[in-house]
């Protein structure tokens, strides 16, 4: 089947036509405007126009019964005919939810929206998409409404995908700030659905206050290991904390699982300013969370709205998610100072709880010198943003008004040219790329620049190839070209030239990812503007430098699971924290990396540097052009399928490397150590409210 393209947006204004009809402080946040404001923001930013608009439909009884009991369905069916008093009484048997004469209709549309999205993604009429729905779903259970949820939209969507589309394995990522206990209950003993959730927990002091939301609820029977809970035991979690959980928990497990479909319980109450979550992650983090999931399951990703109660934060987060689904480059992540102590404790605990189920975690925490406990500990009272102010900056009890200032939606301008190819003349260009011949007479200015850099020697062909690279890099810097694949006679020289050229500007930082052996240009080692990560098979000399990271894997790049572990657990954390303005991906001849893994690498690295990736390969490697160009053009990497166990030697080497580097690169940390940090997750509201610098 041809590569699916396009992003579906499933929305119907009808789902805003129900609301709370009585006083209930627990439910007053769940307002119709959540939906209309999210959709309006997509319209205003020109995003709805770029999506494929897919109509909603009502779910059938049979579909509702995929996750609910007949008795419950029959009871909900009566609600449209109930008096206000009867509705209130009916509502009272459930926790933190309300009914309305029109909610049953909307709840059927919400499921139908999720199913329409699954249909469109599974048949390949779109690549991915978002369903904007009300009511949300992830708290609702077999025979119970709960937490604003009537039917479990995503749980039903997962069952539906299995039943009607022959999907074997579904990954559900629940990034809502609440625990989707309804989803957990639905799939607890089912190994075909991997459920991941992070959630505000505070040692069971936060709603829904369940023991089974903790990290040690791993699933039951055959489903043991397929339920992954990351409890947040403090509020104020930041971008670093979220990314650390993705790098060290979710992504390794998800890649090992190898899903055929990814469903996202896309709640945005986990973003800054939310009155429920009290977290500090910024809306642009959802660009990255989305991007990091887009190369699983061959890109088949369906996001379904759950929570999100600060209207401006919600709208921005929705836009960031959709921009990424559409393929626009993610903004550079801001100020990643590494996970806080409390997050590290949670990460450590969940990795320990799951080490017996997942090869990628087998050696987790082996190097730990002490056992932190997250249980039975007094709740740390962090600074709460919204203790005496609500999210709209209204008057507080003290009578003072605090304005919560939101940065404008980060502008994400995609360059006019996505992918430039610099190829030898005989080589044919890939569709959709702009071709820059490597043979054409080079720009004299560029030649001049090269000779100033001492490159006047060398044969004419390689000089020409190099000179043709320079205008491309300049165009990348000017945001006219997003990324580039260049085939050059000698990757070493070309790489050195690019680094030199890129470093001429003070603000430029280059992440060099060197795949395979071959002479490393010595001038790019050990400087804070160039981070060099070397993925190779030969035992490499560790210079004990922060900026030269040799990752030597036995069997080289043929240990797919080991390589993925290096990519997810070392390279990406390093890259995100280094925050380059350019990624230079170099493949030396005979690097011997499997195409599918190479594609994952190429795709995932595009989350950095606003997608400014320059790939250098040796002239003769023409067979890899189309696979590489496809990734640079924004197509998802093909699924690797379930991964086996990485070679033990490689796991151990990666653990050792992580431990050596984590004093400096804090995103590599996977475990708490009281001695390492003084203030656990300390923050002041003001420092968290600064707009991210662009």
How many residues sit in the footprint of ligand X5A (CB under 6 A)?
A: 15
576 binds, among Zn ion, ligand X5A, none (CB under 5 to 8 A by kind): none
What is the rounded distance in angstroms from the CA atom of residue 177 to the CA atom of residue 313?
14
Of 68, 100, 139, 354, the active-site residue reads: 139
- Cβ at position 268, least distance to ligand X5A in Å: 9
- Cβ at position 499, least distance to Zn ion in Å: 45
How large is the greatest C-alpha to C-alpha distance in the chain, in angstroms?
88
Q: Is the dihedral of CA 548, 551, 556, 557 positive or negative?
A: negative
Candidates 174, 238, 284, 306: give the one binding ligand X5A (CB under 6 A). Answer: 306
26 binds, among Zn ion, ligand X5A, none (CB under 5 to 8 A by kind): ligand X5A
Q: Are strands 7-10 and 128-131 parallel, antiparallel or unpaired?
A: parallel
∠ CA(362), CA(348), CA(214), 5° rounding?
Answer: 105
What is the rounded distance in angstroms from the CA atom of residue 261 to the CA atom of residue 257?
11
For residue 178, state whether it binds Zn ion (rule: CB under 5 A): yes
For residue 665, state whether it binds ligand X5A (rule: CB under 6 A): no
- The pair of structure tokens assigned to 555 is 């069997």
What is the rounded distance in angstroms from the CA atom of residue 563 to the CA atom of residue 579?
22
Candidates 14, 17, 21, 26: give the one binding ligand X5A (CB under 6 A). Answer: 26
User: Taking CB under 5 A as the criterion, which residues in 127-166 touch Zn ion?
Assistant: none
Q: Which is nearer to ligand X5A, 148 or 257 (CB)?
A: 148
- The pair of structure tokens assigned to 396 is 């507080």
Characterize 504-517 residue by residue with b for buried, 16 or more Cβ atoms within 10 angstroms of its Cβ, and e for exposed: eeeebbbbbbbbbb
Candidates 68, 100, 139, 418: give the one binding ligand X5A (CB under 6 A). Answer: 139
Crossing angle for the helix pair 460-477 and 491-502, nearest 10 degrees? 40
- Reduce the DSSP state of residue 396 to 3 states and report it: coil
Candidates 252, 307, 516, 521: give the one binding Zn ion (CB under 5 A). Answer: 307
Question: Annotated catalytic, 139?
Answer: yes
Residue closest to Zn ion when measured from CB atoms = 307
Q: Which is nearer to ligand X5A, 267 or 283 (CB)?
A: 267
For residue 274, state whether it binds ligand X5A (rule: CB under 6 A): no
For residue 176, state whether it binds Zn ion (rule: CB under 5 A): yes
User: Taking CB under 6 A as the criterion, which residues in 206-235 touch ligand X5A?
Assistant: 207
Candidates 6, 136, 327, 562: give the one binding ligand X5A (CB under 6 A). Answer: 136
- Cβ at position 254, least distance to Zn ion in Å: 21
Instruction: Select the span of 141-149, 153-161, 495-503, 509-517 touching ligand X5A (CB under 6 A).
Output: 141-149
For residue 307, state whether it binds ligand X5A (rule: CB under 6 A): yes
Region label for 225, one of left (φ > 0), alpha (ψ between -120 and 50) or beta (otherwise): left
Instruction: Select the span of 17-25, 146-154, 391-399, 551-559 touching ligand X5A (CB under 6 A).
Output: 146-154
User: Taking CB under 5 A as the criterion, which residues in 390-409 touch Zn ion?
Assistant: none
Report the first-to-last Cα separation within the chain, whole angstroms: 39
What is the rounded distance in angstroms from the CA atom of residue 149 to the CA atom of residue 151?
6
Residue closest to ligand X5A when measured from CB atoms = 307
Give the 3-state secondary structure percentages of the chain, helix then strand then coil, rounded to 5: 40, 15, 50
What is the rounded distance in angstroms from the CA atom of residue 643 to the CA atom of residue 650?
15
For residue 269, state whether it binds ligand X5A (rule: CB under 6 A): yes
Overall residue count recorded for the chain in this entry: 694
- Reduce the DSSP state of residue 578 to 3 states and report it: helix
Q: Which residues bind Zn ion (CB under 5 A)?
A: 176, 178, 267, 269, 307
User: Active-site positions?
Assistant: 139
Q: Which residues bind ligand X5A (CB under 6 A)?
A: 26, 96, 136, 139, 147-149, 176, 178, 207, 267, 269, 276, 306-307
């Amino acid at each position: 089947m041809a590569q699916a393209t396009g992003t579906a947006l499933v929305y119907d204004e009808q789902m805003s036509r129900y609301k709370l009809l009585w006083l209930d402080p627990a439910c007053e946040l769940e307002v119709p405007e959540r939906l209309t404001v999210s959709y309006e923001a997509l319209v205003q930013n020109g995003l709805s126009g770029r999506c494929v608009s897919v109509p909603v439909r009502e779910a059938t009884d049979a579909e509702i019964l995929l996750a609910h009991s007949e008795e419950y369905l029959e009871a909900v069916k009566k609600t449209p005919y109930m008096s206000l008093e009867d509705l209130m009484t009916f509502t009272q048997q459930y926790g933190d939810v309300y009914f309305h004469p029109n909610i049953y209709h909307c709840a059927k549309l919400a499921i139908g929206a999720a199913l329409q999205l699954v249909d469109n993604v599974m048949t390949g009429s779109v690549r991915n998409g978002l369903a904007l729905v009300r009511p949300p779903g992830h708290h609702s259970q077999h025979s119970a409404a709960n937490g604003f949820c009537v039917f479990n939209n995503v749980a039903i969507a997962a069952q539906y995908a299995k039943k009607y589309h022959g999907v074997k394995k579904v990954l559900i990522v629940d990034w809502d700030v609440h625990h989707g206990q309804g989803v957990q209950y639905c799939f607890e003993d089912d190994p075909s659905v991997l459920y991941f959730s992070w959630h505000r927990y505070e040692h069971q002091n936060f709603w829904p206050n369940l023991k089974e939301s903790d990290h040690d609820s791993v699933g039951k029977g055959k489903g043991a290991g397929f339920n992954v809970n990351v409890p947040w035991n403090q509020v104020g979690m930041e971008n670093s904390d979220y990314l650390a959980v993705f790098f060290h928990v979710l992504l390794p497990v998800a890649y090992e699982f190898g899903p055929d479909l990814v469903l996202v319980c896309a709640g945005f109450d986990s973003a800054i300013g939310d009155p429920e979550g009290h977290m500090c992650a910024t809306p642009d983090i959802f660009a990255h969370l989305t991007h990091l999931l887009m190369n699983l399951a061959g890109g088949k990703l369906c996001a379904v709205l759950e929570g999100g109660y600060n209207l401006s934060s919600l709208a921005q987060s929705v836009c960031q998610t959709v921009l990424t689904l559409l393929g626009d480059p993610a903004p550079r992540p801001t100020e990643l100072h590494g996970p806080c102590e409390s997050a590290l404790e949670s990460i450590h605990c969940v990795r320990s709880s799951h080490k017996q189920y997942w090869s990628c975690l087998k050696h987790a925490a082996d190097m730990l010198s002490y056992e932190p406990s997250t249980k039975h500990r007094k709740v740390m009272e962090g600074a709460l943003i919204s203790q005496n102010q609500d999210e709209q900056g209204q008057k507080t009890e003290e009578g003072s008004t605090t304005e919560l200032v939101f940065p404008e939606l980060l502008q994400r301008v995609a360059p006019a040219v996505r992918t430039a190819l610099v190829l030898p003349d005989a080589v044919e260009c890939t569709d959709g790329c702009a071709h820059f011949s490597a043979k054409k007479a080079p720009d004299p200015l560029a030649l001049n620049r090269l000779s100033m850099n001492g490159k006047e020697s060398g044969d004419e062909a390689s000089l020409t190839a190099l000179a043709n690279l320079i205008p491309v890099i300049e165009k990348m810097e000017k945001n006219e070209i997003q990324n580039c694949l260049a085939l050059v006679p000698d990757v070493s020289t070309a790489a050195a030239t690019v680094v030199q050229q890129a470093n001429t500007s003070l603000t430029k930082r280059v992440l060099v990812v060197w795949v395979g052996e071959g002479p490393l240009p010595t001038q790019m080692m050990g400087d804070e503007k160039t981070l060099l990560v070397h993925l190779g098979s030969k035992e490499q000399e560790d210079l004990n430098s922060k900026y030269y990271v040799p990752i030597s894997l036995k069997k080289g790049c043929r240990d797919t699971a080991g390589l993925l572990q290096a990519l997810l657990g070392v390279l990406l954390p390093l890259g995100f924290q280094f925050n380059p303005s350019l990624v230079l991906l170099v493949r030396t001849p005979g690097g011997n990396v499997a195409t599918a893994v190479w594609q994952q690498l190429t795709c995932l690295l595009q989350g950095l540097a606003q997608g400014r990736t320059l790939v250098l390969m040796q002239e003769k490697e023409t067979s890899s052009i189309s696979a590489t160009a496809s990734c640079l053009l924004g197509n998802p990497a093909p699924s690797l399928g379930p991964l086996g166990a990485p070679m033990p030697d490689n796991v151990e080497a990666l653990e050792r490397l992580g431990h050596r580097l984590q004093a400096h690169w804090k995103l590599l940390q996977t475990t708490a150590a009281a001695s390492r940090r003084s203030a656990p997750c300390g923050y002041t509201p003001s420092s968290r409210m600064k707009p991210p610098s662009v």
